[in-house]
Structure 1
Amino acid sequence: MLKTVSAGLALAMIATAASAEVKARTDSGFTLAFERPVRAAPETVLETVAIPAAWWSSDHTYSGDAANIRLDLVPGGCWCETLPGGGVKHAETLMVWPERRMVRFDAPFGPLQGLGADAVLTMTWSDPPEGGERQLKWTFVVQGPGTGAMADAIDGVLAEQFRRLGDRLDDL
């Protein structure tokens, strides 16, 4: 998924976001957690997630253009990117449950595909408490040989996407 995997991963290792945390790490896996307040209505969250071209960074695509990404929010739906003469499946939708404010993906993004890693991204958003703000949360759980060493780099890339989605939701 990275246009230039080496450069992208190196930069991502340096970058971290205040809302991101490597919650757990072993040699063969890791868990990342992201959380931030957003002002968008619950239906707007799901509608916005469904259009990754509006919030995913073009720097972290194979084609170099997030406009080539589409996301089908139905079980079995494809989070795919069109490439010249082909394409790539970044993730598959496992669950869409608007009533529970949850979407889940089988999501071996970027270099995780080449390792045959299992990766699950769960997105949730809360109803705000009285006078409070809605909380947007992502949890990314990865298992596979050698993946623990990739946690910081992947944390940097996903933290950027999470920030971009949150900023987009705040702008709506």
Structure 2
Amino acid sequence: MRKAITCAAGYLAFTAPAFAEVKTSSDAGFNSVHIASVKASPDEIWKRLIAPKDWWNKSHSWSGSTEGFYIDAQANGCFCELFQEKGADGKVKTVGSVEHMRVIFSQPGKVLRMQGGLGPLQSEAVTGTLTVAMEPSKDGQSTKISFSYVVGGYMRYKVSEIAPAVDSVLGDQFRRLLTPFASATEDTASVDGFSLDVENLKDEGPAEGTEKALEVKSDNDTGDEQAPAPK
């Protein structure tokens, strides 16, 4: 059975300028970040994102095929791989499965966050959190997208060795995801001014009238000011 993460043998022809690096690293873990801007809408990218069988590299699968890959894009949904074989009757049957990650946050066209130790990290006592964030340009002609994978906990690997390997494979998957889309800019994408988390989701604030309601004192208030006695 193949390891789901090994050093990538090569990259596809996707050449969009992108920010890519092991952004932070310590004995406790690391953070791998990949960012690019492409000529596509968030909905177009999302549709492809949740169909991993169409873009995940089968070299980093457990079964040697991506035909059984799927993402159930809702909280507690599975990014899973089914082990499938053809029986004597010629019909495909599932003979096993593996969970790559578990969905913990899903807002179509904006954020998909999943937790799981990819590849050899699955057998370690680590938490890996992958946040895929999307932000459309003001003119609606392009979208900036990022992969940010944060890993922390105890592992039997040296961070200095496993972090670059994971970063390399994650970059390969990132490029494969974006292969159908043309680069949107000649400028190098960067983290500056772009949220990799859900902080960019707007807080709608209190409903109309809520602030006034909060100012009304109850009968149990003990403040100095007293409500006027009824006439």
- Which category describes the TM-score, using the shorter chain as reference length? 0.7 to 0.9
The structure having more radius of gyration, on CA atoms, is 2
Identity of counterpart residues, as a percentage? Answer: 29
Alignment partner, residue 124 of structure 2: 115
Spell out, residue by residue over 1:3-51, the C-alpha distance to the aligned partner (whole angstroms, 9 max, x if none): 247xx63x34998x95421000011200011001122212112111110
Alignment of 1:148-159 (within 5 A): 148-149=159-160, 150-159=162-171
AA partner of residue 151 (structure 2): V
Greater than 6 Å deviation, 4+ residue runs: none
Per-residue deviation, 1:61: 0.2
Alignment partner, residue 35 of structure 1: 35
Gaps spanning 5+ residues in structure 2: where?
Answer: 85-94, 183-231
Alignment of 1:70-81 (within 5 A): 70-81=70-81
Looking at structure 1, the residues matched to 80 and 181 of structure 2 have their Cα atoms a distance apart, in angstroms, of 22
Per-residue deviation, 1:97: 1.3
Alignment partner, residue 82 of structure 1: 82
Q: Which has the higher contact order (CA 8 A, sep 6+)?
A: 1
Contact 1:13/1:153 (<8 A) preserved:
no
1:59 partner SS? helix
Looking at structure 2, the residues matched to 131 and 4 of structure 1 have their Cα atoms a distance apart, in angstroms, of 39
1:138 partner SS? strand
Alignment partner, residue 111 of structure 2: 102
Bigger helix share: 1
AA partner of residue 105 (structure 2): M
Aligned length: 165
* Cα-Cα RMSD: 2.5
AA partner of residue 21 (structure 1): E
Contact 1:12/1:154 (<8 A) preserved:
no
Alignment partner, residue 139 of structure 1: 148
Alignment of 1:16-95 (within 5 A): 19-84=19-84, 85-95=95-105
AA partner of residue 98 (structure 1): P
TM-score by length of 1: 0.85
- Residues 96/80 of structure 1: CA separation in 2 closer, same or farther (3 Å cut): same
